Amino acid sequence: MELREMISTGVVRAPGVWDGLTARLAEQAGFPALCASGFAISAALGYPDAELYTMSENLQAVRTVREASTLPVIADIDTGYGNAVNAGRTARRFADAGVAAVFMEDQRSPKRCPLIPGAEVDLVDLAEAEGKVRAVKDAAGDMIVIARTDAKGDEALRRAEAYVRAGADMIMPVTKTFTTVEEWARCREVAGVPLTATLTASAWTEREFTSEVMEQIGVRLALLPTQVLMAVAGAAQHCLGRLAAGEPPASVSEDGLGHHDFVELIGMAEIERQQHAYLPTAVV
C-alpha cells in the first residue's frame, strides 16, 4: 500500500532507522513505513544532530535503507542544505531515490537539534521559508512534502498556514512547538492538512500522544525517530563495557542474539537460494 493511501485510513507509525540492518529489522517487526531519521543517520556517522553531514551522505544512507526494505521511506532532509534552489535539488535527488515523503525544517543552516537543553534555534524569515517549501514541492513529483516548523505558538500557526499555501501536504510541529494537545488540534484546524508528529524518546508527545489522541487532533504520521537508536546504543555500550572489563566473550554472547538466528534474520537463506539458482555448481 502506498503511503498516501495509508495516511488516508489512519495513523501511520514509522520507526527511525539509519542503515540496512535497522530497516530490515523494522520491516520484520511489522511496521508499515520507515523514517530515515536524520538524528540517527548523523549519530551513525559519529556526529551530533547539527547538520554536520552533507546531503550526499544523507542520500546514501537513505538509498541503503531503500535497498534493504520494501517499505515506504519518510526521509529527513534537514534544512534542504541551502537556499530554495538547493532545497529543490535535494528534493529531486530524494525523489529519484524512491523516497515516499520528505520533511524539511525552517531553521537556518546549520540546524540545531531542538531537544538540546536550553537550545534556541534560529529560523529563516517566513518569506524565505515559504519559497523553500514551494521549491521542494515543485521538485517532489509524487513525493509527499512535509513542512516542519521549529517556531512556537502563534508564529508556528502563521508559518503552518504559509507552508500549506506553498504546497506542503502535511505540517510537522516539533515537540517544543506546542505544549498541549489542544494547541496541536488548533494547528490542524488552521493548517487544514494532516499533521506529522515526532514521538521522540523522552519528549512529552511520546507520553501523551496515544492512538486516540492522534486521531482526534489530525496526526496521520507518527515518527519514532530515536527509540531504536537509544536501545541499540545502550545495548552496544553495555556489551562493549563487559568485554573491555575482561568478561569472557562466551559469557557476553549468551545475552545477545545467537549467530544462527542473526544469519537467518539478515537473509542468508535467500542469498543461498539465489546462488543455487544462478551460479554453476562448481562455483557454489
Could you tell me the three cell numbers for 155?
508564529
Number of domains in the chain: 2
Same domain, yes or no: 44 and 164: yes
Instruction: Give me the domain span that covers residue 199.
Output: 3-232
Asked whether residue 20 is domain-assigned, the answer is yes
Same domain, yes or no: 76 and 36: yes
What's the confidence (pLDDT) of residue 110?
A: 85
Same domain, yes or no: 68 and 180: yes
Same domain, yes or no: 263 and 170: no
Same domain, yes or no: 101 and 208: yes
Q: pLDDT tens digits for the chain (284 residues)?
A: 799 999 999 999 999 999 999 999 999 999 999 999 999 999 999 999 989 999 999 999 999 999 999 999 999 999 999 999 999 999 999 999 999 999 999 999 888 777 666 667 899 999 999 999 999 999 999 999 999 999 999 999 999 999 999 999 999 999 999 999 999 999 999 999 999 999 999 999 999 999 999 999 999 999 999 999 999 999 999 999 999 999 999 999 999 999 999 999 999 999 999 999 999 876 55
Asked whether residue 172 is domain-assigned, the answer is yes
Asked whether residue 77 is domain-assigned, the answer is yes
What's the confidence (pLDDT) of residue 284?
A: 53
Q: Is residue 38 within 8 Å of residue 61, measured between CB atoms?
A: no
Distance of CA 59 to CAs 54, 98, 109, Å?
Answer: 9, 11, 17
Asked whether residue 237 is domain-assigned, the answer is no
Same domain, yes or no: 227 and 86: yes
Asked whether residue 54 is domain-assigned, the answer is yes
CATH classification of the domain holding 146: 3.20.20.60
Distance of CA 57 to CAs 61, 90, 106, Å?
Answer: 6, 12, 21
Distance of CA 206 to CAs 9, 88, 201, 255, 262, Å?
Answer: 22, 32, 6, 29, 30
Could you tell me the three cell numbers for 183?
494547541
What's the confidence (pLDDT) of residue 1?
A: 78
Same domain, yes or no: 203 and 283: no
What's the confidence (pLDDT) of residue 282?
A: 64
CA gap 194, 191 in Å, rounded:
8
What's the confidence (pLDDT) of residue 111?
A: 85
Q: HSE of 1 in the Cβ direction (CA atoms, 13 Å)?
A: 12
Same domain, yes or no: 59 and 160: yes
pTM for this model (two decimals): 0.94
What's the confidence (pLDDT) of residue 97?
A: 98
Same domain, yes or no: 267 and 146: no
Asked whether residue 238 is domain-assigned, the answer is no
Same domain, yes or no: 66 and 107: yes
Asked whether residue 244 is domain-assigned, the answer is no
What's the confidence (pLDDT) of residue 113?
A: 75
What's the confidence (pLDDT) of residue 84?
A: 98
The stretches of 170-257 forming alpha helices (DSSP H) are 181-191, 204-208, 211-217, 227-244, 249-253
Asked whether residue 248 is domain-assigned, the answer is no
What's the confidence (pLDDT) of residue 115?
A: 66
